[in-house]
Amino acid sequence: MELATKSKISWCPGCPNATILVAYRKAITELCAEGKLKIENLVSAAGIGCHGKITDYLNTNTFEALHGRVVSSATGIKVGNRDLEVVAFTGDGDSFSEGFSHLLHAAERNVGISVFLHNNETFALTTGQATFLSPKGFKGPSTPGGDTDEPMNPLLILLAMGATFVARTYALDIEGTKRIMKDAMNHKGFAFVEIIQPCITFFDTREHFKDSVEWLPVDFPRQDLTAAMNKVREVSEKTPVGIFYQIQKPTFEERM
């Protein structure tokens, strides 16, 4: 199965968007080999931004949405044909600044799609402005004196909205990212994965994350909402990755 296209990769050399692409291609290949996915049933959708170029490099069905509208577009695709496996790639600007309400309502309704957030904590394609996920003090063209806001906590918000699968991974850990992507795509219901994706040009956090990322213990109580909320709120030197929460509930398309 050839998942590459003829398009020339135009991300900055070394950009972790490319490792997300590799992890996703591996996830698709393995899911197809395991008989859990038919390639003709897969739709890879993306929003606008550097992350959105991923659809150019994927020989699957693809959909490029307007800025901030990938989750609502993916919802429409899923509701239109429930046999499809729909994956929505988004950026922190794309879903937490521009298209926030669409994301919240899809989680609340438990739409059966997977949302993969490339969290580089900045609007990268437009040269590094602050988003609502940028840390306090973040300096960029829109905040030359430093962002005065505290960042939102994306996983806490998704847990509060009722997402039935909530996970985090690190883009430069290709095997770990692939594993989480497969689990998300196998999940029946709304799966949200924050992928920490350092922007090597406008906000290079690789030094910080290379030592701080730490997998959750295997016995982490995944069905305990309070435990998940406490874990994603923890402030420490370490950044926990793994599946924080997973439960089963009727999906939006089932209830329709």
Ligand X SMILES: Cc1ncc(C[n+]2csc(CCOP(=O)(O)OP(=O)(O)O)c2C)c(N)n1
Q: How many residues bind ligand X (CB under 6 A)?
A: 19
Q: Give the Cα separation of 209 and 197 in Å (integer).
A: 10
* 117 contact partners, CB below 8 Å, separation of at least 6: 90, 91, 92, 95, 154, 192, 193, 194, 195
Smallest distance from ligand X to CB 158, Å: 17
* Least separation in angstroms between CB 26 and ligand X: 21
**Which of 2-10, 124-132, 137-145, 207-215 is the region at the interface with ligand X (rule: CB under 6 A)?**
124-132
C-alpha dihedral, 206 to 207 to 209 to 210, nearest 10°: 100
First to last CA, the chain: 35
Q: Does 173 bind ligand X (CB under 6 A)?
A: no
How many residues comprise the chain? 256
Q: Determine, following the binding rule CB under 6 A, whether residue 110 of this chain makes contact with ligand X.
A: no
Pick from 59, 60, 131, 119: which is nearest to 91 by CA? 119
Residues in 39-68 that interact with ligand X by CB under 6 A: 47-51, 67
Binding to ligand X by residue 178, rule CB under 6 A?
A: no
Residue 92 touching ligand X (CB under 6 A): yes
Closest CB 130 distance from ligand X, rounded Å: 10
**CB of residue 144 to ligand X, shortest distance in Å:** 17
Given a contact cutoff of 8 angstroms between Cβ atoms, the answer to whether 154 and 90 are in contact is no
Name the residues that contact ligand X, by CB under 6 A: 47-51, 67, 91-94, 98, 118, 120, 122-126, 131
